[in-house]
Amino acid sequence: MTLPEGLDSGQVEELSERFGPNSLPRERPRPWWLRLAAELGHFFALMLWAASALAFIAGMPELGWAIAAVVVVNGLFAFFQEARAERASAKLRELLPSNVQVRRDGRTTVVGAVDLVPGDVVLLTAGDRVPADLDFLQASGVSIDESMLTGESLPVPRGAGDAASGGTFVAVGDAVGRVTATGSATRLAEIARLTTRAVPPPSPLDLELKRIVKIIAVVAVTVGAVFFLVSLLIGNPLTGAFLFAIGVTVALVPEGLLPTVTLSLAMGAQRMSRRHALVRNLEAVETLGSTTFICTDKTGTLTQNRMSAVEVWTPAGSATIEGHGYAPEAALDGPPEALVAAAQLATGAHAASQGDIEEHDGEWRAVGDPMEAALAALDRRLGGAAEGPIPLASFAFDGERKRQSVVLDGDSSGPGAEAQQVPGTVPATPPELWVKGAPEVLFDLCLGDRARTTPGGTQASARSAGHGAGVFEDGGGSAGDRRGDDAWRTRAGAVLEELAARGLRVLAVASRSLAPAEAEAAARGEASAVVLEQGLVLRGLIGLHDPPRPAVEGAIRQAREAGIRIAMVTGDHPATAAAIAREIGLIDRNSGDHKSGSGAVLEGASLPEDLQVLGALLDRDGVVISRVTPEQKLRVAHALQGRGHCVAMTGDGVNDGPALEAADIGVAMGRSGTDVARNAADLVLLDDDFATIIVAVEQGRATYANIRRFLTYHLTDNVAELTPFVVWALSAGHFPLALGVLQILFLDIGTDLLPALALGGEKPSLGVLKRPPERRHLMDGSLMFRVFAVLGPVEVVFEMTAFAVVLWLGGWRPGGDLPSAGVVAAASGAAFTAVVLGQLANAYACRSASWPAWRLSWGSNRMLLWAIVVELGLLALFLFVGPVARLLGQGPPPLEGFVLAALAIPGVVIGDALHKALRHRLGRGRTHPVLPHH
């Protein structure tokens, strides 16, 4: 199994220029003009275009142009926001390149999959995506998941000489392959050219937003129909009544709502990416804010995934290694016979490794799996060769066996062995099988109370890779009958418990001598791992330390304050899991019992089959579930969802895909996770850190709050726009119309657009994680009450008061004739000004559902400040620029009108503050109110 040298740098450069990048030809996007035409030509837009045409035919060009402007502005707004969201998504995808291990210049290195060229030698393991079309040079128990190409649900076995297509996944085993085709020459590219991309089903957020828009649209059309009838009843001509009704309907339809939501989600996703959380679909941003239960892995998520072998126990004694990290130098402590036994064990464990260490800029780092790299470092620290022994055959780790094994020549680690050995042949020295894996599994595969001697009774050298003489070797390596009933298991079990209780991840190593026929069969790939891995000799236990991440304890505290429950779901030993859980504050530090079913620590095998019973058992904070299989993780997700929880589930393995897809939010690891897990997840942690999940939850809650903010803002404006028509209709036309259709249209497309956009980009408020998750609809009773009973009526009071007072000052009395056109225009200008200034105050009031506007920082949302400046500039334009003012049928109001209109600002702020204070006094406000921005 000597690895090929691979291509050299010169060959790679030449082939890269010849074949180009290893990426699929991207589908050509629709031309911009087609996308813009789609935004200007949907059903509702077509209805408005028809109304605009009717306005021109009826001799009302101003209204025709205004309606056309509404369609164009909303269409352009949606077009640009969609383009911005697409650019944001593209940038986010670039943050997560797919990497692959390759052999180049005789060394194993990691490169981006896009940089592969034909002829590259790639190393694959279970969970990896096959990065290009290739032929297998070596394959150990490999099965390929080809479901994405063929639809076949079961993995297909593959061996040396077989081919694999790019885009498929390694389901089981380890392999070495040579790339045969890249990029557009692959089978996947050919299929992509013949197929179209399926449209994903709508998300829950999509469905709710469309429901809201439909409700508002139905209301708008109904109101328009009512005003059409009223206009006819008071004597207006048919065409005029129809255009009047169309104008009212257009003014009330929230066409900018959906693109504003899209932008809000995109901005939330971009903020998450800056905090190392990559959202794979925008709707997941809002769903994160509803998370109530997080099921998290331990290794690499709660811990740093920087493992160090700190203790090796053998029957000859224990050896302590004081070095940390991956440097090959470390201080050793222990009796000589223990160090010799540990060195033998380390060589065997390293041989079964898929990882290694390398020096980069003076720092040693892991190549491949961190645990395997720790074993490579341990072997080097105990005197092993840099390259390690060369296996004759290997059997990859899988979730069912929970172990990994190799066949080694007894002298394979000696000097010059690599040059002397012929791959695929069995040497003269009897080989041995070395196995590493979960201690409980290996204990059951080891002999009981009867010793086992090596063939011929020979003794191997100190650095030999395994001539164990019995169930364990003692210090002198002698072997004989070990009387008693499994005393070795009791002794090893006690050591296992002691190491695990210190929070160490424990790996067992065992071996046995092979008969020549067994070794030959293994070398030819004809042997079964399950058959060979029997009658083993326990060589010892390795304790690996993986320190917790510094920010985890604080993140757990934050999650609890936010009303989120946490469970550690891990495949580790229960004592190890419990020790880490105590160290990070997940469970009580005074809790000492970790037995299955006791306290907060459970084992996967003991979980109830009934989902309701399981849900009741798990529905508490600080649960640790150890020795969990992927199937059990899936059941845990379903059980908690059955209890009404919104579940976030982390995973990094190839078998974690079903659990990640079943969870409301699947969370994959960006560094250590497999391609399968990342493709099944909604959120990818670029730094593999649990604390990043809490950051994402915070932004998710902020996004949910932002959608409610601009929904409140928009609906309040609709109340102020609609009320003048209601008053006019109720008075049968005797009370003058305060706002015309054109004024309402200019409010919608002019002054209201930017503030709504700014509210969609509001940053998370301080204390957003100090309250439980939201479980209510976006447009619920509290929002409707605030809009239709507080903010809207307050704006209407100042709007209609300013209008009536200016009319009164101009000589109008109820029931009398209207004064001059100039007085009516000034009064209408006062009403228009009151609505604009009321919305200015409303924008700040909407920033918090709990705190009054004066408690909020003015500078924390600079986009809103600029939006207000633009809003005031547009107000001046609409009032004081003659042609625009005449088009809208308004003019600058007198001083009294300005004063009354300006009072809308304190009026809205005070009215909103009184409502919030009353809700708080009645116990309907926040138990933990969101604090204002600093």
- Catalytic annotation, residues: 297
SS3 category, 478: coil
Q: What is the rounded CA–CA span in Å between residue 234 and residue 229? A: 9
Token representation of residue 525: 């790939």
Q: What is the rounded CA–CA span in Å between residue 210 and residue 44? A: 14
Instruction: Please check whether residue 320 is in contact with residue 311, taking contact to mean a CB–CB distance below 8 angstroms.
Output: yes
Token representation of residue 192: 């992509």
Q: Which helix (H) or strand (E) holds 518?
A: helix 516-523
Q: What angle do CA 766, 716, 797 make, to 5 degrees?
A: 115
Helices 336-351, 370-381: crossing angle, 10 deg rounding = 140
Q: Which helix (H) or strand (E) holds 577?
A: helix 574-583
Token representation of residue 311: 């203790």
Q: What is the rounded CA–CA span in Å between residue 182 and residue 143? A: 22
SS3 category, 246: helix
Q: Which of 799, 787, 921, 788 is nearest to 846 (CA)?
A: 787
Token representation of residue 412: 């394979």
Q: Give the amino acid at 383.
A: G
Token representation of residue 673: 């996770």
Within 135-256, where are the H helices?
147-150, 187-194, 204-233, 238-252
Q: What angle do CA 10, 13, 17 make, to 5 degrees?
A: 145
Instruction: Please check whether residue 674 is in contact with residue 749, taking contact to mean a CB–CB distance below 8 angstroms.
Output: no
Token representation of residue 680: 């099944």
Q: What is the rounded CA–CA span in Å between residue 827 and residue 461? A: 104
Helices 792-809, 821-845: crossing angle, 10 deg rounding = 160
Q: What is the rounded CA–CA span in Å between residue 611 and residue 239? A: 64
Instruction: Please check whether residue 274 is in contact with residue 764, taking contact to mean a CB–CB distance below 8 angstroms.
Output: no
Q: What is the rounded CA–CA span in Å between residue 675 and residue 349? A: 26
Distances (CA, A) of 822 to 727, 785, 814: 22, 38, 18
Token representation of residue 528: 């079964």
Q: What is the rounded CA–CA span in Å between residue 594 and residue 598? A: 7
Within 643-674, where are the H helices?
657-662
Helices 61-94, 238-252: crossing angle, 10 deg rounding = 20
Q: What is the rounded CA–CA span in Å between residue 476 and residue 265? A: 68
Beta bridge partners of 178: 121, 135
296 phi/psi in degrees, rounded to 5: -120, 145
Left (φ > 0), alpha (ψ -120 to 50) or beta: where does 176 sit?
A: beta
Instruction: Please check whether residue 667 is in contact with residue 712, taking contact to mean a CB–CB distance below 8 angstroms.
Output: no
403 phi/psi in degrees, rounded to 5: -160, 170
Q: What is the rounded CA–CA span in Å between residue 216 and residue 212? A: 6
Q: What is the rounded CA–CA span in Å between residue 34 and residue 338? A: 75
Q: CB neighbours (10 Å) of residue 261?
A: 26
Q: What angle do CA 743, 747, 749 make, to 5 degrees?
A: 115
Token representation of residue 229: 């009838």
Q: CB neighbours (10 Å) of residue 794?
A: 26
